[in-house]
Amino acid sequence: MKASLSLRASIVSALILIVFLGAWQLATLPPSGGGTVYADPEYAAMMGGAAVQASGMPTPGVVGQTILSQLAHPFYDNGPNDKGIGIQLAWSLARVLSGFLLAALVAIPLGFVIGMSPLMFKALNPYIQIMKPISPLAWMPLALYTIKDASLSSIFVIFICSIWPMMINTAHGVASVKKDWLNVARTLEVNAFRTAMQVVLPAAAPTILTGMRISMGIAWLVIVAAEMLVGGTGIGYFVWNEWNNLNLSNVIFAIFMIGAVGMALDMVFGALAKLVSYQE
């Protein structure tokens, strides 16, 4: 029955795709009546009328062609405003990974301390609670002013948004390690360091990894916005640049790539989570 369930699911998925593409195709068919009619004349003026294709939106076929040609040369480099998608994604990934790793280096040890010590938990909790809901982009002006470097500022923004879920989850995982396991270590006179590494860390690892996975998801959301803001390189900048070029089919292609990379990142963390999970 299991195989047939996934088979049926695939069929439904394929049907949804076909319906979606069909609707898209229908919606973007060039109107047979000739000239473009905009609902809003001001918008039409702003768009410069002629610069936009018949319906404004590219058809699935056009986007498909864009995807194929972009993926055929992902790493071309024709100057600052025209780079292949591979290069742009590599920039974004590099920023996300460095901000994320820095955050992990701070969040996991700090989460350990908070989880182990009720005092530190109480002392740091107000700060965490007020920092957590701040949109990471709100830090951008401060970061740009102090760091004075656009790329480093976006890394900082990634750092500041990744840190909270990792810290909170680490603290929670560490605090809820079974007392029995700690007592086993105590009766064996295991020192604090070995207890932390061999009992607390493996016990809390699944929770910590969940935090890392959430952080990575947020970081990937935020990098697009951050790069739109600071410009220069990266997938976020690519999207914004193509919007300025009014190349919507490249924008759609970029959206698709953002989704694909985000899904791949999530799958990596899913696999890592599986590696450290245990069954009681």
Partner 1 sequence: MNQPFLKVEGLKKVFPSPGGAQDVTVFENIHFGFEKGEFVCIIGHSGCGKSTILNVLAGLDEATDGNVFMDGREVKGPSLDRGVVFQSHALMPWLTVIENVAFAVSSRWHDWSKAQVREHCMKYIELVGLGHAADKKPHQLSGGMKQRVGIARAFAIEPKMLLMDEPFGALDALTRGVIQDELVKICAATHQTVFMITHDVDEAILLADKIVLMSNGPYAKIAEIVENPLPKPRVRQEIHHDPHFYAVRNHLVDFLVSRSKLIAQGELPDDYDPLHPPVVRPVAEALKLAA
* Residue numbers at the binding site for partner 1 (CB under 8 A): 178, 180-181, 183-184, 186-190, 194, 198-199, 202-203, 205, 276, 278-280
Distance CA 126, CA 110 (A): 15
Tell me how far, at minimum, the Cβ of 205 lies from partner 1, in Å.
8
Of 147 and 273, nearer to partner 1 (C-beta) is: 273
DSSP string for 205-233: HHHHHHHHHHHHHHHHHHHHHHHHHH-SS
Of 181 and 256, nearer to partner 1 (C-beta) is: 181
Tell me how far, at minimum, the Cβ of 209 lies from partner 1, in Å.
13
Tell me how far, at minimum, the Cβ of 274 lies from partner 1, in Å.
13
Which of 258, 108, 271 has its CA nearest to residue 196? 108
CB atoms within 10 A of CB 137: 17
DSSP string for 52-104: S-SSSSPPHHHHHHHHHHHHHSTT-B-STT-B-HHHHHHHHHHHHHHHHHHHH
Tell me how far, at minimum, the Cβ of 204 lies from partner 1, in Å.
11
Tell me how far, at minimum, the Cβ of 178 lies from partner 1, in Å.
8
Amino acid at 115: G
Of 29 and 197, nearer to partner 1 (C-beta) is: 197
Amino acid at 68: L
CA 203 to chain centre: 27
Of 55 and 198, nearer to partner 1 (C-beta) is: 198
Place of tokens 């955050």: 103
